[in-house]
Chains A and B, each alone.
Chain A
Amino acid sequence: MNSYLDYTVGADLADTSAPGGPIEQRWDQRRFEARLVNPANRRGRTVIVVGTGLAGGAAGATLAEQGYHVVQFCFQDSPRRAHSIAAQGGINAAKNYRNDGDSVRRLFYDTVKGGDFRSRESNVHRLAQISVEIIDQCVAQGVPFAREYGGLLDTRSFGGVQVSRTFYARGQTGQQLLLGAYQALSRQIAAGGVEMHARTEMLDLVVIDGRARGIVARDLVTGRISTHLADAVVLATGGYGNVFYLSTNAKNSNTTAIWRAHRRGAHFANPCFTQIHPTCIPRSGDHQSKLTLMSESLRNDGRIWVPSAPGDTRAPADIPEAERDYYLERTYPAFGNLVPRDIASRAAKTVCDEGRGVGPGGQGVYLDFADAIQRLGRAAVEAKYGNLFEMYQRITAEDPYRVPMRIYPAIHYTMGGLWVDYDLQTTLPGLFAIGEANFSDHGANRLGASALMQGLADGYFVLPATLNDYLARLPSAPVAADHPEIAQVEREVTERLAALLAVNGDRTPDSFHRELGELLWDHCGMARSDAGLRKALARIPQLREEFWRRIKVPGTGEELNQSLEKANRLVDHLELAELMCLDALHRTESCGGHFRTESRTADGEAARRDEEFSYAAAWEFAGPGSPPVLHREQLVFDHVQPTQRSYA
């Protein structure tokens, strides 16, 4: 069979940068221990930040405020367009403004539990502590959070948590937080603290003497390949959900930066931990280019059902009550339609697999507001969900006040990413990963409204403190621009692009990407099985081989060439996909977003296996096509006792 499956196991990995002692004091302790760079010397130290989302934008602005010389990159035409902007719901913080029993400790607990006990306690506790400062920071920047008539901040509850700790700005919290970070970054760009390169994509990492010292990037307008050198490199390039082609990610979000870093020596942790969001608008046909999320809040009042009989093609109104299956209410009477994301998603897949799905291709379930409208009145429903209904109607041309909505799960977030220690440094010295690009805080499942919190915590507060320590310890030794390694990496990048242009085959990048996405969705999506994963692992190398034989990229590399951009990103997706499947195959337990059909409880629910898998799987790249090396970081739970989740 595939030799790629014969991975080897290396030495366990330990997070050596987190101080010991009481968990509440670790972050203070770490900041105290961290060395500082003399403010006068900071101007001479250069930091590269790739990405301008919540994590990258916040980090770039903060590092420049501290006096460092920041060189920042984004592939979008403006740093304001990073995909953090699309986050809808809100941001968690343990402010306890409601006096409803919230605390740092509770947020910490909820996040570890929500992550199905696959995250690192020290990191999550720090995240909960910092959450409080984030709200202060954003309010000071002018982020227009929702307020009550008294002028104080409003909060709402989210994702099944029992306290009201989610701060929000209507359904555009991500946009408003990102604009806050973008404005702070823009101020630094104008002041000369940040050298901004928009429409410039990182294509590889430069490692010299075992340290990350720069990146090779392509100017997307002119096609020029250039190397940028620095004392440290920070990747804030987001998640890799687009490996599935159809996801709620932005079209151009990609894995290239972290995958190239992985190939240069950074370990990739838990790649199979992907989150599937249950309430997305189903695909309408083969032309579908991306999926749109509908806020989870809809499940508060909508009832989810499918026809009881397979193959029932009647209009929903013609199906009598007795022939409808409200399957979530039936299976999980205690939580009903409000079960967590992973459970709701899997249940939808199950009924669709039974042939009871609705809409085109049978890939959808009804989310019905008829009862809510009858109970509360149309006006009340409109006041609560009007903008979502309008969005749904714009996309589907169906009126959800009269016809039940159709929803289906979609890939939304990736918990996996580059392995980082407490300092957010990867296994490659000088290379840091922040935000969704790292694996740090969400374990096997992320709670709603926690991604924004983590991105900003990393960018505003954690990285600027820990990076200081790294730079203070690193002797300032500039790399010569003619270092042979630079020419070597540049040559590899140029050759890769040239190879893509040279194939001149008969298939477009999108056609390959679609095929890869379908393969992963089928075998490494909501439910994963040994047989399915092996099938995918056999197919991916074939697909890769076919890609290099049949890809067609028109134009040249010396111009704006969006086909070349797509094809080049796909090269990395095709490699990452294999590692995802291998990781999913090796983890023969179900936990969070990772559901192995073989690992279930007697009543069919996900069964975690702590004795074997209470670790983060950090994979080391061992050469193209070679089986990777697994390093385990054993997870220790001193403050939260792992329990089996139950929602029945």
Chain B
Amino acid sequence: MNLTLRIWRQAGPDAPGALTRYQVSGISPEMSFLEMLDTLNEELILAGDQPIAFDHDCREGICGACGMVINGQAHGPERTTTCQLHMRHFRDGDTIDVEPWRAAAFPVVKDLVVDRSAFDRIIGSGGYITAPTGSAPEAHATPVPKEAADLAFEHAECIGCGACVAACPNGSAMLFTAAKVVHLNVLPQGAPERSSRVRSMVATMDDEGFGGCTNTGECATACPKGIPLSGISMLNREFLRGAGR
């Protein structure tokens, strides 16, 4: 396959950026999108140019490191992570636009690399259960209804890639925050910190400069792990419940 790529290049956080056009040829449909970029980067290095910087690590869709907006869609046309997107979903001669996640809370570091540390701070403000090592009771002391365990798991699958923020027209982090709040709040182990957790995490989310939720649903559509949109509603319920105490 021969492709035209228009990729966002930006030398640093404060440098101006622009879409730059590249031609790549000999792309096999078996390649992943990142392997296609690897191929381009090898050519750029040998030509003495700077390769395109992008975050990636596990390349099997679980670490959450990779992420780019491909033709206006977070992680591209398939509902998966960028590393698991394959070139067979494109056609010979296509022009593909590649941009970084865009959000005030995710400043660009370089090219397609953004700073997502705001997510870490949201987790740090309450996305945990206080259980210092050694303090745990016997695991079977508290049975957890299967339904609650499954609901918790469904939300715990979040990989923290930031596609929800990138896809949201408001740059909102509600789905990310909801995923962690629901995961922990539906478990009996998470109950004691239920109210403080949601209050604190929402406050941090707001302070980090994420936008507000207008329930457009773009986040859940883009989420490679299928975190349900209704999680945001459950977050709101927890918040309203927590605000009263």
A touches B in complex, CB < 8 A: yes
Please list the residues of chain A having a beta carbon within 8 angstroms of any beta carbon in chain B. Answer: 58, 61-62, 65, 76-81, 83, 85-86, 95, 97, 133, 135-137, 139-142, 144-153, 169-170, 172, 175-176, 179, 182-184, 186-187, 189-190, 196, 198, 221, 248, 250-252, 284-285, 287-290, 292-293, 394-397, 460-461, 464, 506, 508, 510-511, 552-555, 559-560, 562-563
B122-144, CB under 8 A of A: which get 1 and which 0?
A: 01110111111111111110111
Q: Do residues A140 and B136 form an inter-chain contact, with CB atoms below 8 A?
A: yes
* 14 A-B pairs with C-beta separation under 8 A: A81-B65, A85-B159, A133-B136, A142-B184, A150-B143, A170-B153, A187-B124, A189-B120, A250-B63, A284-B31, A285-B28, A508-B42, A552-B46, A560-B109
- Complex Cα spacing A142 to B190, Å: 7
Among all A-B residue pairs, the 9 with the closest Cβ atoms: A151-B143, A190-B124, A140-B136, A183-B128, A140-B131, A284-B30, A144-B153, A186-B124, A136-B136
A61-B133, A153-B140, A287-B38 known; A141-B123 Cβ under 8 A? no
Question: Which residues on the A side are within 8 Å of B142 (C-beta)?
Answer: 139
B84 to chain A, nearest CB (A): 6
- Complex Cα spacing A52 to B119, Å: 16
- Complex Cα spacing A79 to B55, Å: 14
Interface range for B: 35 or more
Q: Do residues B120 and A186 form an inter-chain contact, with CB atoms below 8 A?
A: yes
Q: Do residues B31 and A287 form an inter-chain contact, with CB atoms below 8 A?
A: yes
Q: Do residues A77 and B116 form an inter-chain contact, with CB atoms below 8 A?
A: yes
Q: Do residues B125 and A190 form an inter-chain contact, with CB atoms below 8 A?
A: yes
B19 to chain A, nearest CB (A): 19
Q: Do residues B137 and A140 form an inter-chain contact, with CB atoms below 8 A?
A: yes
The reply on B172 being an interface residue by CB < 8 A is no
A59 to chain B, nearest CB (A): 10
B22-77 contacts to A, CB under 8 A, are: 28-32, 34-35, 38-39, 42, 44-46, 48-51, 53, 55-60, 62-65
Q: Do residues A198 and B117 form an inter-chain contact, with CB atoms below 8 A?
A: yes
B128-180 contacts to A, CB under 8 A, are: 128-140, 142-146, 149, 152-153, 156-157, 159-160
Q: Do residues A144 and B156 form an inter-chain contact, with CB atoms below 8 A?
A: yes
Q: Do residues B63 and A83 form an inter-chain contact, with CB atoms below 8 A?
A: yes
Question: Which residues on the A side are within 8 Å of B44 (C-beta)?
Answer: 554
The reply on B105 being an interface residue by CB < 8 A is no
> Which residue of A61, A140, A183 contacts B123 across the interface (Cβ within 8 Å)?
A183
A141-B189, A148-B146 known; A292-B86 Cβ under 8 A? no
Q: Do residues B140 and A289 form an inter-chain contact, with CB atoms below 8 A?
A: no
> Which residue of B46, B59, B84, B144 contacts A508 across the interface (Cβ within 8 Å)?
B46
Beyond A198-B117, A559-B110, 11 additional pairs, beta carbon < 8 A: A58-B133, A61-B133, A77-B113, A148-B146, A151-B146, A169-B156, A170-B153, A184-B131, A251-B58, A510-B38, A554-B51
Question: Which residues on the A side are within 8 Å of B35 (C-beta)?
Answer: 287-289
Question: Which residues on the A side are within 8 Å of B221 (C-beta)?
Answer: none
Q: Do residues A81 and B117 form an inter-chain contact, with CB atoms below 8 A?
A: no
- Complex Cα spacing A146 to B152, Å: 10
B67 to chain A, nearest CB (A): 11
A558 to chain B, nearest CB (A): 10
Question: Which residues on the A side are within 8 Å of B5 (C-beta)?
Answer: none
Q: Do residues A81 and B64 form an inter-chain contact, with CB atoms below 8 A?
A: yes
Q: Do residues A81 and B57 form an inter-chain contact, with CB atoms below 8 A?
A: yes
A136-B138, A142-B189, A285-B30 known; A394-B86 Cβ under 8 A? yes
A79-B120, A136-B136 known; A560-B129 Cβ under 8 A? no
- Complex Cα spacing A508 to B39, Å: 11
Q: Do residues B60 and A142 form an inter-chain contact, with CB atoms below 8 A?
A: no
The reply on B187 being an interface residue by CB < 8 A is yes
Question: Which residues on the A side are within 8 Å of B136 (C-beta)?
Answer: 133, 136-137, 139-141
> Which residue of B31, B51, B125, B133 contacts A65 across the interface (Cβ within 8 Å)?
B133
B65 to chain A, nearest CB (A): 5
The reply on B236 being an interface residue by CB < 8 A is no
B176 to chain A, nearest CB (A): 12
Question: Which residues on the B side are within 8 Å of A563 (C-beta)?
Answer: 45, 51
A136-B136, A187-B124, A250-B58 known; A81-B63 Cβ under 8 A? yes
A250-B58, A555-B50, A562-B51 known; A140-B135 Cβ under 8 A? yes
Q: Do residues A95 and B58 form an inter-chain contact, with CB atoms below 8 A?
A: no
- Complex Cα spacing A97 to B141, Å: 13
Question: Which residues on the B side are within 8 Å of A136 (C-beta)?
Answer: 136-139
The reply on B102 being an interface residue by CB < 8 A is no
Q: Do residues A510 and B128 form an inter-chain contact, with CB atoms below 8 A?
A: no
> Which residue of A76, A250, A394 contacts B59 across the interface (Cβ within 8 Å)?
A250
- Complex Cα spacing A243 to B52, Å: 24
- Complex Cα spacing A43 to B161, Å: 34
Measured CB to CB, the nearest residue on chain A to B27 is A287
- Complex Cα spacing A76 to B157, Å: 19
The reply on B115 being an interface residue by CB < 8 A is yes
> Which residue of B53, B63, B65 contacts A560 across the interface (Cβ within 8 Å)?
B53
Question: Which residues on the A side are within 8 Å of B115 (C-beta)?
Answer: 77
Measured CB to CB, the nearest residue on chain A to B158 is A179
Question: Which residues on the B side are within 8 Å of A175 (C-beta)?
Answer: 62, 157, 159
> Which residue of B53, B121, B129 contacts A141 across the interface (Cβ within 8 Å)?
B129
A31 to chain B, nearest CB (A): 12
B175 to chain A, nearest CB (A): 16
The reply on B196 being an interface residue by CB < 8 A is no
Measured CB to CB, the nearest residue on chain A to B31 is A287
Q: Do residues B140 and A80 form an inter-chain contact, with CB atoms below 8 A?
A: no
- Complex Cα spacing A76 to B42, Å: 22
Question: Which residues on the A side are within 8 Å of B212 (C-beta)?
Answer: none
Measured CB to CB, the nearest residue on chain B to A560 is B110
Measured CB to CB, the nearest residue on chain A to B200 is A190
Q: Do residues A86 and B62 form an inter-chain contact, with CB atoms below 8 A?
A: yes
- Complex Cα spacing A553 to B51, Å: 10
Measured CB to CB, the nearest residue on chain A to B122 is A186
Question: Which residues on the A side are within 8 Å of B59 (C-beta)?
Answer: 250-251, 289-290, 292
The reply on B88 being an interface residue by CB < 8 A is yes
The reply on B95 being an interface residue by CB < 8 A is no
> Which residue of B32, B49, B65, B140 contacts A152 across the interface (Cβ within 8 Å)?
B140
B144 to chain A, nearest CB (A): 5
Q: Do residues B187 and A142 form an inter-chain contact, with CB atoms below 8 A?
A: yes
